[in-house]
Amino acid sequence: MTDLKVEKIGWIGLGKMGTPMAANVMQAGYRLVVFNRSIDPVGPFVEKGAAFAQTTSALAQECDVVFSMISDDLALQNITVESGGLFESAPAGLVYVDMSTVSPSVSERVARVAADKGIQYLRAPVSGSTSTAALGALTILASGSKDAYERCLPVLQVLGKKLYYLGPSEQARYLKIAINMMVGMTSAMLGEALTLAERGGVDWTQMIDVVNNSVVASPLVGYKASMLTTRNFSPMFTSSQMAKDFDLALDAGRNGNVPMPLTAVARQFLGAMIASGRGELDFFAYVTLLEELAGLRGQSCQC
């Protein structure tokens, strides 16, 4: 297995998730070249010894392996296959690892261009939050080039605690979307259930404690229990972001003729979250929308 400590690693995307992930890569001793569309997040990395690439094209020429953690399908296309993107000047043999949540259809297009250019393409979306990213404790779902996976394994082990290689093509994209569907559906189910019990006069704090110690308890419910108890819905993952992921799921379902009626209904309520000014709250603020629809406005929201 190649030791990536003697190679240059490119990193594209220094947002909420990308910043702690790239920081962990640097802390592990890897030489890093960074690119970000806005310049502000770049400074702290340069101060710690990272190089800065003015364009993704320049980054491709400097690095042996490039990771990206970006926002959506459009960003993925822009940094890879569009004019001036990573693939335009990337040498054959470059390893490209995208860790974003994007659609299988756009990922397939990137894969075709990568293959034509002799680029090894690994899809490696992650499951976790900014706090688990900072701890290097993400769950990483990988598919695509098995050679790229094995070559990048030392770096992936810096970023994640649990790693799964799932297959040669878009398996990681589909599973990541499926997991996010279940996460979003949990907030919808819990919002309805809590509103019903609240209507019945159950004490809010006690109710959250009981649910978190009941048969329906889960790591997700446990993770969100404090947020629900305090009703502080400062975002870890926003309703708008969850709506984007539900759109990915519904598009994939249409393309594969998979019926997803529950997902479609939940997406409509996420739209209502956005329309009612809750789009930038954590998606678990779903319960506040249900309370409003039920005429329950007594609980405050420390948002």
176 in active site = yes
Distances (CA, A) of 44 to 49, 51, 71: 9, 11, 21
| Per-residue tokens: 190 | 């819990």
Residues with Cβ < 8 Å from 289, sequence gap 6 or more?
Answer: 191, 269, 272, 273, 276, 278
Residues with Cβ < 8 Å from 63, sequence gap 6 or more?
Answer: 7, 8, 9, 10, 33, 94
Q: Which of 5, 48, 161, 176 is catalytic?
A: 176
The neighbouring-strand residues paired with 66 are 10, 96
Residues with Cβ < 8 Å from 30, sequence gap 6 or more?
Answer: 4, 5, 9, 155, 158
Angle formed by the axes of helices 239-256 and 104-117, to 10°?
80
- For residues 214 and 209, what is the distance between their CA atoms, to the nearest angstrom? 9
Catalytically active residues are 176
